[in-house]
Amino acid sequence: MADAFTSVPVKPTLSSYWWVARNPPANPTTSFRGKTVLISGANVGLGFEAVMKFAALGASNLILGVCSLPKEEQAKVIIEARTGCSAHVIQLIELDMTSYQSVENFIQQVNKRFTVVHAAVLNIRVFQQFYKLSLEGWKMLIQVNIISTAYLRILLLPKLCETGLFISRAAHLEIVASCVQGDVNVKDVCDLSSILQKINNLKNFRIGSQYSISKLLVMTILGRTTEEGSRTLVTGTLLGPEAHGGFWTHDRIAMPAILVVTDEGKKLGTQCWKEILDLL
């Protein structure tokens, strides 16, 4: 599918920063009336602004996966006040991406409370400044950005497929990634025994490269306000089959990082995906 994408470079340059700041994506105007949208990581930043837009565009149900219910309650009140959406529209469900059990509980609640999910935006991500392991034994950055995001995606697929059959068109699954995936050097991830164990090792912990690697493996909008950046999260849920597997940025379906689409990159991707499935 990647061969059909545009050749927009995913690796940011100084000139691309200049262009991005002066060419924000289009503001979505399509109605979401009657739609149920799930968003993780929605209390601040891009996620918060995206929820504001979905609410303003009339979404009937907004499912917010939240780590802290008190913080998200505050965000819920602000969104309702600013958009005028009804109190029942925004539904909060606890989601701690550092815990497999929490991810499973979240999906159980979604399946129990909602018949359909038209779109899911997986936006929870962390930038790790210090080496710290999750309860599952992985660096927090790797746990949240890669493993738990993959697990959440896997568990969401049955509900999204069920929705697709019910509404006679495909539901949307969107994973928020970053242009820094283009900064990854193959030597930082290549390991015949285990890619995940290599980047989980303390001696390989480097803040900048680790964040880039995590975004490469899950495949921020740079130089824009959070409101402008959130437009991409919303419009991404309106794309058709032509966007499957693509990197939606600057209102275009861009070619993912070179390491994603080359033969070497595909081999590494297959190995990493197998390692994740073996874990789960």
Active site residues: 211, 215
| 3-class secondary structure, 37 | strand
- CA dist 259 and 212 (Å) reads 12
- CA dist 21 and 246 (Å) reads 22
End-to-end CA distance of the chain: 27
Alpha carbon 10 to its chain centroid, in Å, reads 16
Angle CA 254–170–267, to nearest 5: 45
Beta strands 119-122; 90-94: pairing state? unpaired
Q: Are 87 and 80 in contact (CB under 8 A)?
A: yes
